[in-house]
């Protein structure tokens, strides 16, 4: 049986882009956790945050993660803040090979500042907020990751191939 892979990293690090490519290489499905949550809520991320706050979003995240982690092998693209919850970290570490996609704050700002539906960046100075949130989350990303892969100025397919190769080098990898 193939083991599941969870892609973690800050918003804009490439999880949703790299995830389907990696899933194809591993011959497993790709699931975007945020997309599942949005579909089930019947609201956009921004609408969920407005109606339920970040706490409501994080509650939904825990519920969907628990459900998805007990199923068949997959590549799971996780939201950038999933690692904020100790329960989520335990679930991810127990059931997934965790791949941290990292990018510089400059790259993240380029990718994110003009993107709608990022409620955490709906502030007067989004670049400063990216830097603040990233600094806060970085130690946790690094602590839970089995594999770390830089995404700055790299093609998504190249990143997916690197991850696939590195999974093959760790404890039997994806098989």
Asked if pLDDT for residue 123 goes beyond 90, the answer is no
Query: What pLDDT shows up at residue 16?
Result: 93
- The pTM score is 0.88
Burial 34-52 (b: 16+ CB within 10 A, else e): bebbbeebeeebeebbeee
Task: Compute the average pLDDT of residues 98-116.
Answer: 87
Task: Compute the average pLDDT of residues 155-159.
Answer: 97
CA 163 to chain CA mean position, Å: 14
- Rounded to the nearest integer, the mean pLDDT of the chain is 88
pLDDT band at 160 (very low <50, low <70, confident <90, very high): very high
Cα-Cα end-to-end distance for the chain: 6
CB contact at 8 A, 12 and 108: yes
CB contact at 8 A, 77 and 103: no
Beta strands in the chain (DSSP E): 4-8, 30-32, 75-77, 96-102, 147-150
pLDDT band at 79 (very low <50, low <70, confident <90, very high): confident
pLDDT digits (tens, 9 = 90+) for 39-52: 999 988 888 888 99
Portion of the chain with pLDDT greater than 70, in percent: 91
Task: Compute the average pLDDT of residues 1-11.
Answer: 83
What is the set of domains in the chain, with CATH numbers? Answer: 4-168 (3.40.50.300)
Task: Compute the average pLDDT of residues 98-104.
Answer: 96
Task: Compute the average pLDDT of residues 74-92.
Answer: 92
């Amino acid at each position: 049986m193939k083991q599941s892979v969870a892609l973690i990293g800050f918003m804009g690090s490439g999880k949703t882009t790299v995830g389907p490519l990696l899933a194809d290489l591993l011959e497993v499905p790709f699931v975007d956790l945020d997309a599942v949550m949005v579909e089930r809520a019947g609201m956009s991320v921004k609408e969920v945050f407005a109606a339920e706050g970040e706490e409501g979003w994080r509650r939904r995240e825990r519920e969907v993660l628990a459900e998805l982690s007990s199923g068949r092998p997959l590549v799971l693209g996780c939201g950038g803040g999933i690692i904020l919850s100790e329960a989520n970290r335990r679930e991810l570490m127990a059931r997934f090979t965790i791949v941290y996609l990292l990018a510089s704050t400059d790259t993240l700002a380029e990718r994110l500042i003009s993107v709608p539906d990022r409620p955490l960046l709906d502030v007067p100075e989004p670049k400063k907020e990216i830097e603040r949130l990233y600094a806060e989350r970085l130690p946790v990303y690094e602590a839970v990751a089995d594999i770390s892969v830089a995404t700055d100025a790299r093609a998504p397919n190249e990143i997916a191939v690197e991850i696939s190769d590195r999974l093959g080098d760790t404890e039997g990898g994806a098989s």
